[in-house]
Structure 1
């Protein structure tokens, strides 16, 4: 099937637009997949966004989707599915039968997956063509993407800098035009950090919106699985597919939520604005981007005004004490038991986690309670809050040994993992002076993804239209 659009232009086609072209017969899923695979072959040596690719299986899935669009087949007998034919990359966390999900670590060996993660199965059921696995830091415990097993991932906007982490490979792949959509996960900002640094869109859904397995992970309230894409509409499209109750996740929220893909005006909305979440030192470029987003919303009819959250504690210690107590010991046991290479920051995290006391761990509940109480008082008067995603404008691609300190200093994301029922969308707010994108977080009332997407779309419309890195 011939198409006048160049391969590189095809790779930046919004997923919603690709679906229209598929249905009109102007583009085929095979043609789109070929464009992505050709671009990956060219750019992957520089970026290292993928830890694995499944070229033959993806080609077969694309051909089957192409048949569904073909007029030779009955649409009633072969109904088109929500993501029919769209290339989607999976974070190296979300299992796929027959694949090896390493979590970025040699400690897990090479055992093939025997079950599909809930998000994987829902993507497959919706017709997605899963073609790649995206790179992660070891066990997801860094806001950069580097591991002993899979190496360093780089930011397409500036190869010296990190794409963020832990869903760094997903964000880099999207920004570089290597996939239409990607999955992510977020336990301290791991969707939103790379979304901000790479100029893409990422949603930390409300806790329980997107099912998680096994049950031990499902009950971890800081843990969120979510969609990543290049546009707000694409992100919402993927969210509609992957959210909803699941038999294996007792925390999954019912009923399923369907957000509109045509977004209402923000006129009349009341939006709170926080420059620093009461405690972060924020780069001047980031503040400029935030103010541009606020002004764009005002020009579209929203009322935006600065607030103080009243937080005497932004939850940094609580985050590290919770994660360290619950997972640091596990990592320490694995490292001692297996004489295999491990990343420096994982060894440091294990040491720090072993030093967290039970009393400190239990005290985190009081911190979270106070933060929720202050946030609830503010949100009683507003439909949403906007604030920066990152306080900084980038860090070296290789990261550092003390990943906790980098997260504590730069990521304005982790407070909302403690306040896990609030959905948060990161959308681009412009380019910093070093050429790397910046992001704004849109924080919704609890369980209100619809308003978050509505406000995010308004910011995107004003500040970020079809930008791409010169790579």
Structure 2
């Protein structure tokens, strides 16, 4: 019964709690029991607050018994990404410099999740300062992939994705600059949505006008990701770029007839990025599901010229802005790849930033025109399957050397540069049983379109229903 509860969808669990068929205390206790059994091997949840969670669950049951109104996530256990500030619970960002950091207040995404009735059970592991798509750090060590413990779960929301796949909690929050919601979802056979900038407002932020990094939902199903998005999206005066549309637009059913949709598919972004043959081999046969759903599918890709420079320039600038002072004081306690990225930001000039903005403007208009011809764009999320946990990052892809710890994620970060919403949905498995995610990109602020398409694909293929073999 415990394992069954832990693999129910969030929507089912919320309904069971509201109808008082399962209490919040039973639900939290079941997940805590599973965490105790499974998490020691995976190291996905790195800070656990069981006493606090059980107390909150008891209070949630009492509110329901009194007939008080409750939120859409009432009684659901959630662990938050360890870069997201949580009042009274340590938030380390995977850095020894913040090993004992306990914030005084929740940040906005946590505030909204808790206001919707979710119960905080702990924090999920991240790379140091969320830099890189492999989850390891000097505070807690590495997180392991539930489908193969010798492999990485990806990152930077790697602990969240591994915990979802292992049934440790039904929903997770994450963030994404170059693929940090999508890559771990791909590697762990779960769902991750990178929304458009401003769809999920962020606060506090050192650069509230910046648009490269976003926060968003993760779940085991597309419908559950949409449920969480309905809670965390919506305007807030503390974010100057917040989209003025309520999150409730994502709360309804996702079923739609896709007949007539024009769908572009590109295995290698028009030949511009190398992709491991195992990734293409897992995804290519599944693309036929869109044809079966009534879509017109053809091979095509937008012109992404300049996207690489846009992403790398703005990312380096933002890393220097946020972490430059940390590097000045503690260079010996910052991992080398992150220090190099910050140093790169310090070499940037005004003309460098101006050029990036000009390139980004041209990229936006080419994407806008592309989405007048197509409704959706399908791509691999990651260019490689989950790689060995001892490896910091892939140094080559399909025999092509990669310049640094970012290069192997171009299939995700080039999309980040466009600002378009992108969904990672379970797309297939390699012959060795490693998960591979399909990336569904939609038009400007078209999250609902990608969620509906992802839901239809998920229902047609059933790839996301395959669970890891965890015998603990």
2:90 aligned counterpart, secondary structure:
coil
Counterpart position of 1:334: 326
Match of 2:37 among 36, 42, 48: 42
Q: 1:68 to 1:376 in 2, by over 3 A?
A: same
Counterpart mapping for 1:65-214 below 5 A: 65-70=60-65, 73-74=66-67, 78-108=68-98, 110-214=100-204
Alpha-carbon contact 2:283-2:438 (below 8 Å) kept: yes
Say which of 294, 306, 315 aligns to 1:323.
Answer: 315
CA deviation string 1:415-441 (max 9, x = no partner): 222111x11111000111232211111
Question: What residue number does 1:242 align with?
Answer: 232
Give the match's secondary structure for 2:159: helix
Determine helix, strand or coil for the equivalent of 1:364: helix
Question: Against the structure 1 CA distance between its residues 363 and 120, is the aligned structure 2 distance closer, same or farther, given a 3 Å change threshold?
Answer: same
Moved more, 211-220 or 34-43: 211-220
Question: What pairs with 1:200-279 in structure 2 (closer than 5 Å)?
Answer: 200-257=190-247, 258-259=249-250, 260-278=252-270, 279=272
For the structure 1 residues 124 and 151, does the alpha-carbon distance in structure 2 shift closer, same or farther, using more than 3 Å as the test? same
3-state secondary structure, aligned to 2:69: coil
**Cα gap change, 1:302 to 1:68, in 2 (>3 Å):** farther
TM-score (norm 2): 0.92
Aligned to 2:377: 385
SS of the counterpart of 1:446? coil
String of CA shifts for 1:240-280, please: whole Å, max 9, x gaps. 01100112111101121412234212122222222211211
Question: Which residue in the other structure is 1:434 paired with?
Answer: 432
The verdict on how the C-alpha distance between 1:8 and 1:411 changes in structure 2, with shifts beyond 3 A counting, is farther
Deviations 1:345-398 (A, max 9, x none): 323333433444443333212332232232222111122211110111122224
2:302, 2:222 → 1: CA distance?
27
1:123-149 per-position Cα deviation (integer Å, ceiling 9, x unaligned): 111100111101111111111011112
Number of the residue aligned with 2:398: none
Q: 1: CA distance between counterparts of 2:344 and 2:331?
A: 20
- Cα distance change of structure 1 residues 215 and 400 upon mapping to structure 2, 3 Å threshold: closer
Work out whether residues 197 and 213 of structure 2, in 8 Å CA contact, stay in contact via their aligned partners in 1: yes
Distance 2:299 2:261 in 1: 14
Taking a change above 3 Å as real, the CA distance of residues 329 and 287 of structure 1, as seen in their structure-2 partners, is same
Deviations 1:219-251, CA, capped at 9 Å, x for gaps:
111011101000001000000011001121111
Contact 1:96/1:117 (<8 A) preserved: yes
Q: Which moved more, 1:188-197 or 1:273-282?
A: 273-282
Distance 1:447 1:191, change over 3 A: same
- Decide which of 277, 281, 295 is 1:284's aligned counterpart: 277
SS of match in other structure, 2:378: strand
TM-score (norm 1): 0.92
2:417 is matched with which residue? 418
Change (3 A) 1:261 1:337: same
1:19 aligns with 2:14: yes
Deviation string 1:307-359 (CA, Å, 9 cap, x unpaired) is 1323334x233322222233237545423413763333323333433444443
Shift, 1:168, TM fit: 0.6
Change (3 A) 1:160 1:411: farther
Partner of 2:388: 396
Q: Residues 33-71 of structure 1: CA distance to partner in whole angstroms, max 9, x if unpaired?
A: 11211111112221111221111111111112223444x
**Please, which runs of 5 or more residues in structure 2 have no aligned partner?**
396-401
CA distance in structure 2 between the aligned counterparts of 1:310 and 1:330, rounded to whole angstroms: 31
When the two chains are superposed, the root-mean-square deviation of aligned CA atoms in Å is 2.0
Q: Retained in 2: the 8 A contact 1:272–1:386?
A: yes
Is 1:363 aligned to residue 361 of structure 2? no
Pair 1:296-2:295 in alignment: no
Who is 1:457 aligned against? 455
| Stretches of 4+ aligned residues off by more than 6 angstroms | 401-404
Q: Distance in 2 between matches of 1:110 and 1:29?
A: 30
